[in-house]
Structure formats: C-alpha cells, structure tokens
Amino acid sequence: MIKIENLDCMYKTSNNQMVQALKGINLTINPGEFVAIIGANGSGKSTLAKHMNGIMLPKEGDVFVFGKNTKEEQNNLFIKKSVGMVFQNPDNQFVTSVVEEDIAFALENLEIPFDEMHERVRMALECVGMYEYKDASIESLSGGQKQKIAIAGAIVMQPKFLVFDEPTSMLDPQSREEICSLLKRLNETMNIGIIFITQFMEEVALAKRVIVMNDGKIVKDISPGCLFEDIDFLESMKLKAPQITYFCLELNKLGENINPGILDLKECADELAAALKGNKL
C-alpha cells in the first residue's frame, strides 16, 4: 500500500516567493484500488502523484510504499519497481526508437536474464494489445498507440501500483476509450492498483474512489456517484459533472424519480425508460 503522512511541499518561484503546492496531505491507498484524483489546474494533483514513486521526495512528512520510506535511498529501486508512472505527453516518455527495445530498456538495466526479459516484454505488449508492433519505430505510432507502449513499459516492471497523470488528455475520443478500458482491465484482471489523474469527468466513473484536490489540500474522498450529486461543491472546485448528471439532477428537481448518481449511459437510459413506463396506464 501507499501511505502518505503529513506531506507538505513548498517551492520557490523565480521571484523568491514561496508557493505551497501541498499542505498536510494524509492519504492511504490500498493494493488493487482504483482511485481517481481530480482538481482544478494548479491544485497539486501532479505534485502529489510525483511523490508516490519517489520522483519527488518529501521535505516535510513521509511517503511509504509497502512500509518503505521513499526518502531512504536504499529503498529507491524497490519503490520504482512497485509504483510505475505514465504521463500526459506520449512523446516524452521514450528512451529508444523501437518499441521492443524501449520496453526492454529498464529490464536490461536490472540485468534480468535474456529469456525472462523476452518473455516479460512479450507479455507486457500483449497485455496492451500492441505485440504486433514490437518491431515498429515509436515515431510511426499514433498518440494512443504511444500511450499504450508507455503503459507496457510500466507494466513490464510488474508494479503493484500505476500512477497515470492525465494519460488521455492529448488523445482523440477513440484512443481515450481504449486507454480507459485498458486501465480497467489492468485493475480487474491483474489487480494493479490504479491512481488516475484526469480532467475528463466522465472518466472518473471508472474509479471506485475519487479524491478531490483544491489549493494543495485533499478536500474530499468519496465515491464517484456521490461526488457528482453535489454540483455546487464541484463547481466551487472549478470542476463539473458529466452532462448526464446535470440532466438527471434537473429531472429530479422537476419531481421525477431518477437516480442522479448514475454514470453509465445504458443505466441512465434504463432509468429514463422506467420513469416513462411508470406512466403507462
């Protein structure tokens, strides 16, 4: 599990002003959880994420990954293996130009035997549905495909957790959907804990738990369904609910018995159909 205790993060701007990016964060994420983190731009989401696998180290407070403190240097390799990270821009995450080589890169550094390395690369690529592209040049792939390769590069390390910092924000709708269902699969079939930062409110529905950040603090830790019912709170955080939530809430206000916590489109249609049928004489 990932355990964050009393984490503060300050940094100095070029004008020598101090900015506090994180303020007193306490958070525990258990193995196998699927947690979304949302919040306005500048609320501290990415800074928090970077503390989860030791890209940033706490000056105040502690981060533990399965009980090991990220601040202690001897834990470094364990932490990098346990918690992988995938970023927003698919172009900035590669070290080589050929798909297979890039996935194998980290394993080579760990001196994993050749046969095992080969097998793990194959499994990672199959898992993201990109094995047939193993000899392709990364340059020739689309944004969505590159993001899948970046994910394969993370899962080849057999992590317990994967942190995704807005992995879909540069992708077109179809690629976004593919990445979302991939995250779901990694969570459900491989039991990898997922920490998912996104600005797409419809995608939050994938998670079982949502953390809302504002001004460096965690202001809410809740289920997606309950979160979206409280539109006033969301809007005060510069966020919004998905379009269907607004619709269901409106109908509710007008006396219709529709559950406003619904996030699945088919369920929503069924709920509407039931309300319409209720009128049948």
Partner 1 sequence: MIQFHNVTYTYNFNTDTCKDAIKNINLKILPGEFLAIIGQTGSGKSTLVEHMNGLKKPTVGEVFVSGQDIWQKKFDITKVRFKVGLVFQYPEHQMFEQDVFSEIAFGLRNNGIAETKIESLIFEALDFVGLPHDILNSSPFDFSGGQKRKIAIASTIAMQPDVIILDEPTAGLDPYSSELLLKKFKDYNKNKGKTVILVSHSMEEVVRFADRVIVMHNGEIKMEGEPRKIFTKVEELNEMGLDVPQILKVFLELRKLGFPARADIYTVEEAKQEFFRLKNLTKGGKSFVK
Shortest Cβ distance from residue 242 to partner 1 (Å)?
6
Shortest Cβ distance from residue 117 to partner 1 (Å)?
31
C-alpha span between 169 and 141 (Å, rounded): 17
Q: Burial of 69 by CB count in 10 Å (0-12 exposed, 13-18 middle, 19+ buried)?
A: middle
Shortest Cβ distance from residue 233 to partner 1 (Å)?
13
Q: Which is nearer to partner 1, 157 or 239 (CB)?
A: 239
All residues at 6 or more sequence positions from 180 whose CB lies less than 8 Å from its CB, including other chains? 168, 203, 206
Q: Which is nearer to partner 1, 77 or 265 (CB)?
A: 265
Q: Which is nearer to partner 1, 116 or 139 (CB)?
A: 139
Q: Which is nearer to partner 1, 137 or 191 (CB)?
A: 137
Positions that interact with partner 1 (CB under 8 A): 13-15, 19, 39-42, 46, 88-89, 142-144, 166, 169-176, 199, 201-202, 235, 238-240, 242-244, 246-247, 250-251, 254, 256, 265-266, 268-270, 272-273, 275-277, 279-281
Q: Which is nearer to partner 1, 111 or 232 (CB)?
A: 232
Shortest Cβ distance from residue 220 to partner 1 (Å)?
15
Shortest Cβ distance from residue 24 to partner 1 (Å)?
20
Alpha carbons within 13 A on the beta-carbon side of 139? 3
Q: Burial of 136 by CB count in 10 Å (0-12 exposed, 13-18 middle, 19+ buried)?
A: middle
- Quick one: tokens of 162? 């994967």
Q: Burial of 84 by CB count in 10 Å (0-12 exposed, 13-18 middle, 19+ buried)?
A: buried
C-alpha span between 196 and 110 (Å, rounded): 27
Q: Which is nearer to partner 1, 16 or 109 (CB)?
A: 16
Phi, psi at 136, each rounded to 5°: -70, 155
Shortest Cβ distance from residue 254 to partner 1 (Å)?
8
